Chains A and B, each alone.
Chain A
Amino acid sequence: MCNNDRLFAAISSFDVIIVGSGIVGSACARELADAGLNVAVCEESVVGGGATAAGMGHVAVMDDSDAQFALTNYSQRLWWELAPNLPADAEFSGSGSLWVAADDEEMAEVHRKSTYYSARGVAVDVLDSGGVAKAEPNLRRGLAGGLRLPADAVCYAPAAALFLMRGIPLLRGTVTTLTPTGFELSTGVKVSTGAVVLATGVAAYRLAPELPVYPRKGHLLITDRYPGYLNHQVIELGYLKSAHSHDADSVAFNVQPRVTGQLLIGSSRQLGVADPAVENAMLRRMLARAVEYMPGLETLRGIRAWAGFRAATPDNLPLIGRRPGHPNTFIASGHEGLGISTSLATAKLIADELLNRTSAIPRGPYDPARSFDPHA
């Protein structure tokens, strides 16, 4: 590691510098370094200290769109390949997800998802009311059923980011401007490099204002340790109805078992809020929703609540690829709530484009140059 600006400027031999050391930046750094490039990462604060630390850390497959499925599915495979090498503090746990359906309408969604995933080779189990009660005894009785995805996992992303960064120089500094040949730091130091990968999450617009990335605030609460209380990550299927509406604030029941025995309880989504403070009203709404599904949560002790910002985009897909009009700048941002899940695939796609490799999945849907006009 090096903090020294002069040394920083003197090292102009890096092929690529990644700006941002969240899970996405760290994954890009790892992928490019493993491809033989001379890579460094520039970080203004702590490794994995932004949305990577604030988020839940799930490695999930999602199917809002075919493109979202392709990216999450590809990335999850990469996570399972990486899993045996991850250190214990990355807390990777293949506990699986359980989507719960409250009523027949949501049960229809279970069947739709089941068909969709099965057709694409993703293992799923459809559970009836009794099956859900057996899988998660602390859920309220009388739920219609659920869908289990055994391959879904959770991890502690800041530790995973640090692991991915191993051996890669970490340069401390705040990037204020991107230049055609690199970037400039807040200290005035100019750094030149072969290419820049912008992986600053929600702060992407600060350096590339044309990017359609905006903050979506979320709250979480973690409990003390209650080993055995929960077996899967549990998510309500109402999530889909509420989570991706772009105008209203929403909450959804989403609870995760951590390796520590702690429970991580979410989730909330708010647009147009810049204050990072925990909001009582939002937290209460979120916890009330969780207690509706899992009444016993009321007696457990919460030890910490916080809020963070996801990097949202108009079409709920990340921006991965060359920045339009800037041949040496690459964007890896806009992952919203799926940054951990899709980080490893994002890194592959960035490296593929930078090195002119063929990609395992089509890159077009994530191209920062795509049209965001829904009527186009």
Chain B
Amino acid sequence: MPEIRVDGMAVNAAEGVTVAIALLSAGRNRFRTSLSGEPRAPLCGMGVCMECRVTVDGQPHALACQVVVREGMEVAT
């Protein structure tokens, strides 16, 4: 079970899942804040809608539904 950090908090993720699955499984509903301040979370689940964008290890605009978790990964929403 890789442990990742989401906004500084430790989250345990299942092996081999995407960041999106890890966040949703942990009950996280805000992947990004929209331009008008709304919380947003995955819509399409397949890399099209861009709603699940998070910052992974300092790189902004990573698609949470496409990136697989790695031990020690830093995710910022």
Interface 0/1 of B56-76, CB less than 8 Å to A: 000111000000000000000
User: Could you say which residues of chain A place their CB within 8 Å of the CB of B61?
Assistant: 224-225, 301
For the complex, what is the distance from the CA of A224 to the CA of B59, rounded to whole Å? 12
User: Could you say which residues of chain B place their CB within 8 Å of the CB of A299?
Assistant: 59
Q: State how many residues of chain A have any CB contact under 8 Å with chain B.
A: 5
Q: State how many residues of chain B have any CB contact under 8 Å with chain A.
A: 3
For the complex, what is the distance from the CA of A224 to the CA of B63, rounded to whole Å? 13
| Interface check A226, CB cutoff 8 A | yes
Q: Which 5 A-B pairs have the closest CB atoms?
A: A224-B61, A301-B61, A226-B60, A299-B59, A224-B60
Q: Which of A260-319 contact B (CB under 8 A)?
A: 299, 301
Q: Residues of B with Cβ closer than 8 Å to A?
A: 59-61
Q: Residues of A with Cβ closer than 8 Å to B?
A: 224-226, 299, 301
Chain B nearest CB, measured from A294 CB (Å): 17
Interface CB pairs A-B, < 8 A, 7: A224-B60, A224-B61, A225-B60, A225-B61, A226-B60, A299-B59, A301-B61
User: Could you say which residues of chain A place their CB within 8 Å of the CB of B60?
Assistant: 224-226
For the complex, what is the distance from the CA of A17 to the CA of B60, rounded to whole Å? 48
Residue of B nearest to A224 (CB): B61
User: Could you say which residues of chain B place their CB within 8 Å of the CB of A225?
Assistant: 60-61
For the complex, what is the distance from the CA of A301 to the CA of B61, rounded to whole Å? 8
For the complex, what is the distance from the CA of A299 to the CA of B60, rounded to whole Å? 10
Residue of A nearest to B58 (CB): A299
Residue of A nearest to B62 (CB): A301
For the complex, what is the distance from the CA of A225 to the CA of B35, rounded to whole Å? 11
User: Could you say which residues of chain B place their CB within 8 Å of the CB of A226?
Assistant: 60
Residue of B nearest to A223 (CB): B61
Residue of A nearest to B59 (CB): A299
User: Could you say which residues of chain B place their CB within 8 Å of the CB of A301?
Assistant: 61
User: Could you say which residues of chain B place their CB within 8 Å of the CB of A224?
Assistant: 60-61
Residue of B nearest to A260 (CB): B35
